[in-house]
Amino acid sequence: MPDIDGLEICKILKNAPKTEGIPIIMVTAKTEEADIVTGLELGADDYITKPFSGKVLVARVRSILRRKIERGLDRRAIRIDDLTIDPARCEVLIKNRALALTLSEFNILYTLARKPGFVFTRYQIVDAIHGGDYIVSDRAVDVQIAYLRRNLGPPGHRTFSSMTTARL
């Protein structure tokens, strides 16, 4: 592209509220690891290097659309004791008091609350939140969970402690 590169377009689209939810697949001749990592970190849902197979491209588009549809299917609020998680509003309430969480913290809590008693690996949490092929360090999930625990407060001060201590 002569005037602007795909990385810049990706950044613009992912930072604009009206277009942030649009899936992006980067198809490029840039094959360096740093280029791939940058594209994915800027918000691309997938990164395909040239030359590529048309069948692979179609399969990846279908995969991204399937994940997007699955994420949007069940957006009902989850209630656990005094905790309410409302995915439609990206809002968490404890005893009807709003809790300020980052989007990552919210998504982790929502992911865990949707499957009570299920034990997640770090990679399952990342896949559930960002989709497959998202590059993140092992400790990034630990840091997000530590912030989430801090925001939720000490386990003894909430009635839903069995849910959070078992899986956070």
Provide the CATH topology of domain 6-73. Rossmann fold (3.40.50)
From-to residues of CATH 1.10.10.10 in the chain: 78-167
**pLDDT, averaged across the chain:** 82
From-to residues of CATH 3.40.50.2300 in the chain: 6-73
- The 3 state secondary structure assigned to the chain is CCCCCHHHHHHHHHHCCCCCCCCCEEEECCCCHHHHHHHHHCCCCEEEECCCCHHHHHHHHHHHHHHHHHHHHCCCCEEECCEEEECCCCEEEECCEEECCCHHHHHHHHHHHHCCCCCCCHHHHHHHHHCCCCCCCHHHHHHHHHHHHHHHCCHHHCCCHHHHHHHC
Examine the pLDDT at 155 and tell me if it is beyond 80: no
Contact 49, 31 (CB under 8 A): yes
Query: pLDDT tens digits, residue range 8-53?
Result: 999 999 988 888 888 999 999 999 999 999 999 898 989 999 999 9
Examine the pLDDT at 3 and tell me if it is beyond 70: yes
Residue range 72-76: mean pLDDT, rounded: 66
- What's this model's pTM, rounded to 2 decimal places? 0.51
Yes or no: is domain 78-167 CATH 1.25.40.20? no
φ/ψ (deg, to 5) at 9: -65, -45
Q: What is the pLDDT of residue 73?
A: 56
Closest residue by Cα to residue 164 from 125, 86, 112, 93: 112
